[in-house]
Amino acid sequence: MANANVLEQKKALVADLTEKLKGAASAVIVDYKGITVEQDTRLRKEMRESGVDYAVVKNTLLRFAINSCGYEELDPLLNGTTSIAISKEDSIAPSRIVDQFISKNPTCPISIKGGFVEGRIMSIDEIKSIAAIPSKEALIAQVLGTLLAPISSFAFVLQQAAEKGGAPAGGEETAPEAAPAE
């Protein structure tokens, strides 16, 4: 009876993982061997704050899930210690977070095994290049900053002219008053 319960739990885990993968914008498979508890806690916190699901999974269970989603090309990556970072909305977040975490923590032995973005299987190099792309929020801020720069500069010039007693309204220069005739 206990084996039946364990089997049902595993089936439920595979079903849940399959649903997450089917609805995912991206996922990154990570080898987490050798990570300390402190490092793991910081990585999980960063993932949570960015809306990324991160979990350690058994290779066999992940294999069933990825195969049912059509990601069979990831199968060879499922050996050793494996965790997966899945994002439903942000295609770049899992790659960026793991890559930045590795860069900030050179003593942390975790590494990217592979993954997918928008349904396309990506190599490690492709994932690292995607990780270098700024977040959506950062890109929007850059565009807005670019759009606002000319307006801000113009407003600054107008303010400086007003403070220095610039030209009168209408931009016309006034002639000095003529001396009274005697």
Structure tokens at 89: 């909305």
Helices and strands, number each (H, E), in the chain:
6, 5
Pick from 95, 79, 73: nearest CA to 31: 79
Containing 85, the helix (H) or strand (E) segment is strand 83-87
Containing 87, the helix (H) or strand (E) segment is strand 83-87
Pick from 117, 33, 29, 130: nearest CA to 77: 29
Instruction: Write down the domain spans for the chain.
Output: 2-133, 137-166
Is residue 171 pLDDT above 70, yes or no? Answer: no
Name 55's Cβ contacts closer than 8 Å, sequence gap at least 6: 83, 84
Is residue 84 pLDDT above 70, yes or no? Answer: yes
Task: Decide: 30 and 113 in contact? Cβ < 8 Å.
Answer: yes
Is residue 176 pLDDT above 60, yes or no? Answer: no
Containing 8, the helix (H) or strand (E) segment is helix 2-22
Chain segment 98-157, per-residue pLDDT in tens: 999 999 988 889 999 999 999 999 988 888 888 877 767 777 887 777 777 777 777 777
Name 84's bridge partners. 29, 55
Please give the full DSSP string across 138-171, using - where no structure is assigned: HHHHHHHHHHHHHHHHHHHHHHHHHHTT-SPGGG
- Topology (CATH level 3) of domain 2-133: Alpha-Beta Plaits (3.30.70)
**What is this structure's pTM?**
0.72
